A and B are shown apart, each in its own frame.
Chain A
């Protein structure tokens, strides 16, 4: 059973470009979460999605960031017009339907570097 998959693992963008980060949850999982980890800091919650629905986006920056989890395909975290401050590790986690809160399984992360 494959774990949570994220790609790309590393992404380099120049300021002003767009970054698209993809996350495929574990098989059977319908809840997806995105977290950001800035250098030397802890993980910060960004958004919680279920299929075709954003449940909680209280941690998302107001501008340039968006997320989706379509009926088919992976969840996408999209960052438009990236700035150097967006450089971070972006982790996706998933949990099964009806599962307890703690059963969030993390993917390996995407490390974004903005030049």
Chain B
């Protein structure tokens, strides 16, 4: 079983649609959770951190359910510029280092005009 699992998609949605991505992680000792965005052949960029209380940044809302080991990202009123691969990222303590990130394989989103 992968440490971080995501639906690979692709998700093809019209502009203005609401789209939700899900992610599960296997290690209950995971400490920190994030969504990154990666454009084609570019580096990952931090989109937002994810907290148990849920957090919102404009059109983006992230939720964490520690009991179910489940993370979600909701994008409202999607824009063409939202087209990218969305990476679920978890900090899993390993070998005494709390600084390595474990990435899911990503969910590809294409927003259509």
Residues of A within 8 A of B (CB): 31, 33, 35, 41-45, 48, 55-56, 58-59, 89, 91, 95, 100-109, 111
Q: How far is the CB of A1 from chain B (nearest CB, A)?
A: 16
CB of B60 within 8 A of chain A?
no
Q: Mind listing 7 A-B residue pairs with CB under 8 Å?
A: A33-B100, A45-B100, A45-B101, A48-B100, A56-B97, A58-B94, A102-B32
Assess the A43–B97 pair: CB atoms within 8 A.
Answer: no
Chain B 88-113 interface 0/1 with A at a Cβ cutoff of 8 Å (1 = within): 00010011111111111110000000
For the residues of A in contact with B, the DSSP-based class is strand
CB of B49 within 8 A of chain A?
yes
Assess the A42–B45 pair: CB atoms within 8 A.
Answer: no
Q: Give 3 closest A-B pairs by Cβ, nearest first.
A: A56-B97, A106-B43, A45-B100
Which residue of the partner chain, among A31, A33, A59, A102, contacts B34 with CB atoms under 8 Å? A102
Assess the A108–B42 pair: CB atoms within 8 A.
Answer: yes
A95 contacts across to B, CB distance below 8 A? 99
Residues of B within 8 A of A (CB): 4, 31-32, 34, 41-46, 49, 87, 91, 94-106
Q: How far is the CB of A37 from chain B (nearest CB, A)?
A: 8
Which residue of the partner chain, among A31, A33, A45, A106, contacts B102 with CB atoms under 8 Å? A45
* A43 in contact with B87 given A58-B94, A91-B44, A106-B44 (CB within 8 Å): yes
* A102 in contact with B46 given A48-B100, A56-B100, A58-B100 (CB within 8 Å): yes
Q: How far is the CB of A88 from chain B (nearest CB, A)?
A: 13
A106 contacts across to B, CB distance below 8 A? 43-45
Assess the B99–A31 pair: CB atoms within 8 A.
Answer: yes
